[in-house]
Structure 1
Amino acid sequence: MQGEEANDRRVFRITGKDRTEFLQNLVTNDLARLSDGLVYAALLTPQGKYLADFFLVAAGDAILLDVQADLADSLIRRLSMYRLRSDVAIGPADLHVQRGLGAPPADALPDPRHPALGWRRYAEEPGTSPAIDWDAIRVEHLIPETGAELQPEESYILECGFERMGGVDFRKGCYVGQEVTARMKHKTELRKGLVQVEVLGPASPGDDILSDGRPVGRLHTRAGDRAIAYLRFNRADGVLTAGGAEVRLTPP
């Protein structure tokens, strides 16, 4: 059984005896979870801002890294910069990313972000042509994506729901950007973040969301009359609009 080809992804193979410790000291999630299947994680700047999100999976004497193609080159450059004298090598893997819903193939792994996102498979052969409306699933379950809701060197992962998606571990110890992320978790109340909204009328991703004429957020991925929006919670009161539409917060 095959899944759809995720043709916007690239896969890399990380090898060497220090590969697990190397990644453990850099990424937001605990590499001990590799024994359970796919691990969803991110690499941050030292200031705690998002650079890239990706999946990691153990594959014999290697760890596979599955990342959006647009971010791949910059991510590999950044990882290579941190490598220093570690016994680690990073190179492309000649594998296709397949994904699907329903009954998975025997070698597929569940997407750890949400059960509604189905499964992922890494195979030598390409998958079938894409047919599933993944954006509609993401909007329904408030799942951000790179280039839409996730903006490199701008987004903060806690504002984007990484804790809810299991993409960050607060017990694993240090990683790049850990101090800022932990402070946001334990010492502050989030004043901005992603929410699902109802959009009544014409409005497009990228439109500013206004309250009494003041910008309070931005519209992102839209599917039908629902969308993902980034909002300043303390200002998003009264009637909200975007483009020519009324915008309403949906119940949590």
Structure 2
Amino acid sequence: MNTCILNPSKCLLYKLSTHQRAITFLPHIRHLSKTQDPKCFTIKLKSRSLVQVRGKDTFNFLQGLFTSDVHLLTDNVSQYSMMLNVQGRVLYDLLLYNMSANEETANIWIECASAVKDELIQTMKKYKIRKKVDISDISKSAYVYASSNQNLTLMEDSVKLTTPDPRLPSLGNRIIASENLKSADNMCVDLESEQLYHEHRYKLGIGEGITDLPPGSCFPLECNLTFLKGVSFDKGCYIGQELTARTFHTGVTRKRLMPLVFENVPAGFKTDSSIMSEKGKSAGKLRDFISIYGLGLMRVAETKGDLNIIDVKGNKLKVKADIPSWWPSENHML
């Protein structure tokens, strides 16, 4: 039985195999990108599911639905993207994986929030019309893992794909497996502790899923889609493109998702709890939190200094909003 090692020292190019997208091997060794989180985890993401789109018209079909330039996947393994509604608001946050054996047999796997998997399938089928594509639920035969472990040895049999997270190197790596992931040395494979992964995201200020990105309620640029390389402004039309492009070209996005740090672990919050500045002005809304780390949709100009929020027990907590190190320079933020 072959094994593969997630090694930070090198990141090899991906090549196509007969049945799936695979990595070039130095015998039995699989290399992934380096991640910066000191905590080691490899976790099965039950909150994420996979949908398959395959067929002759796959790339052109998805190009008209999603924010990213899907045709760039012909030279890449993974890509961040979103699907918007006609008003330009976020419906689904997505990771796209190119599983094509060749250009003639296009096969894209789409990672989405499990809670909206069926809705995503129905929405795509609505736009299918006469396109030669097949859309199917593969969530019971392929599973998503997130890994920050740089030296994890995995049993090769079940691994379909390994790739650096296309959003941000600090998010580590995505692993797609056909069954529960097996470690050759029982090292850092966890089927239950998904909270550790979400805490890691919140520290970085990355939104994911329907709690952080409520469907039909938020705008893609407020979710830092541009910073995370999930949108193309050159590819032409897609659903919600007009408002997104107009907002981008004005150069002003006053609210953005930002990481939060509380002075104490909160007792809990009401949905969309308000965050106030020291001067009593509204600074933003809380999306969610784990331990002392949270994520908020913040008015960037109001986030300096200590902020305040009231938890469910009526406690007034101090909270700080940080500008992530991966954001561009300050003159491009607003």
Per the TM superposition, whether the score is higher than 0.5 is yes
Question: Is the 2:309–2:319 contact (alpha carbons within 8 Å) kept by the matching residues of 1?
Answer: yes
Change (3 A) 1:247 1:39: same
Change (3 A) 1:116 1:130: farther
- Select between 205-214 and 129-138 the one with higher mean Cα deviation: 205-214
- Please list every run of 5 or more consecutive structure 2 residues that lacks an aligned counterpart in the other structure: 5-41, 182-189, 311-315, 325-334
Residue 110 of structure 1: how far off its partner (Å): 0.9
CA distance in 1, matches of 2:235, 2:123: 21
CA distance in 1, matches of 2:87, 2:191: 40
- Select between 122-131 and 14-23 the one with higher mean Cα deviation: 122-131
Q: Deviations over 1:76-96 (max 9, x none)?
A: 111111101111110122212
* Secondary structure in structure 2 of the residue aligned to 1:159: helix
Residue from 174, 180, 191 that aligns with 1:129 = 191
Q: Deviations over 1:48-106 (max 9, x none)?
A: 10000111112133111111110111111111111011111101222122221224668
Question: Is the 2:304–2:321 contact (alpha carbons within 8 Å) kept by the matching residues of 1?
Answer: no
Correspondence for 2:59? 20
CA distance in 2, matches of 1:239, 1:16: 53
Question: Is the 1:98–1:126 contact (alpha carbons within 8 Å) kept by the matching residues of 2?
Answer: no
Residue from 237, 242, 258 that aligns with 1:179 = 242
Change (3 A) 1:99 1:250: closer
CA distance in 2, matches of 1:164, 1:130: 30
CA distance in 1, matches of 2:295, 2:210: 13
CA distance in 2, matches of 1:172, 1:58: 19
CA RMSD of aligned residues (A): 2.3
- 1:127-166 equivalences in 2 (<5 Å): 127=181, 128-131=190-193, 133-166=196-229
- 1:104-119 equivalences in 2 (<5 Å): 107-119=161-173
1:221 corresponds to 2:288:
yes
* Secondary structure in structure 2 of the residue aligned to 1:148: helix
* Secondary structure in structure 2 of the residue aligned to 1:108: strand
CA distance in 2, matches of 1:239, 1:7: 35
CA distance in 1, matches of 2:58, 2:323: 43
Change (3 A) 1:165 1:188: closer
When normalised by structure 1's length, the TM-score is: 0.89
Residue 32 of structure 1: how far off its partner (Å): 2.5
- Select between 202-211 and 79-88 the one with higher mean Cα deviation: 202-211
- Select between 126-135 and 184-193 the one with higher mean Cα deviation: 126-135
Q: Which has the larger radius of gyration?
A: 2
Correspondence for 2:94? 54
Change (3 A) 1:131 1:239: closer
Question: Is the 1:220–1:229 contact (alpha carbons within 8 Å) kept by the matching residues of 2?
Answer: yes
Question: Is the 1:116–1:137 contact (alpha carbons within 8 Å) kept by the matching residues of 2?
Answer: no
